[in-house]
Amino acid sequence: MNEISFESNFTPHDLQIAYMIHVKRMSIKRLILMLSVSIVLILCGAYLLLFSDETNKNFILSWFFIVYGIFVIAFYYWRLSRMGKVAFRKLTDLHHPIYTTINEKGVFSKGSAINSDSKWEHFTEALITDNVILLYPNRMRFVIICKRFLKNEDFSIVADIVNHKISRSKDIRKNHQPMHAESHFSASLN
């Protein structure tokens, strides 16, 4: 059976890149909601500040809204910038090598505490960038395939296979020439 096998040694940087891509492409509604609530708080605080004096209760409330809105934005971006480190610390299974095999049937991973057999039908979405492929079994969980663990031509082959096997895949690679996934499995994966 034709297949591509590789070993993954994830770092916090790999997870940070994956989470940033996930947030920018798949969780954009959550990002917009968080920023909208913060901006509304700041605007309400500014409005109350304009129509209050120092002896009024609205003066304290207006400054609270402004400071809290700024705090929410700052905390959200601070947390987002640390997500790779936090995830790497919590997901201790990623501290050890993971051996992954990709073939016509699916993605199969084995590590010290991981044994995952995921058929292509289990993935609902996929996101393909120049350096990372994210495979989604649901909206909030994803499998990471990094380009640095594969040879350049293998990464292109895997990306084309993902495009072929998963109907809801987004390919946002630059300068990409699509190939036929069936011909890769039959000819070049021996």
**How sure is the predictor about 181, in pLDDT bands with cuts at 50, 70 and 90?**
very low
Q: Is 3-10+95-188 a domain of CATH 3.30.420?
A: no
With beta carbons less than 8 A apart as the criterion, state whether 12 and 88 touch.
yes
Residue-range domain boundaries for the chain? 3-10+95-188, 20-87
pLDDT digit string (tens) for 123-174?
Answer: 999 989 888 999 998 888 888 999 999 877 888 888 888 888 888 888 777 7
pLDDT digit string (tens) for 52-72?
Answer: 766 667 778 888 999 999 999
Cα separation, 144 vs 15, in Å, equals 8
End-to-end CA distance of the chain: 8
Q: Supply the pLDDT for residue 189.
A: 44
Q: Using DSSP, state whether 16 is helix, strand or coil.
A: helix
Of 96 and 172, more confident: 96
For range 21-40, the mean pLDDT: 85
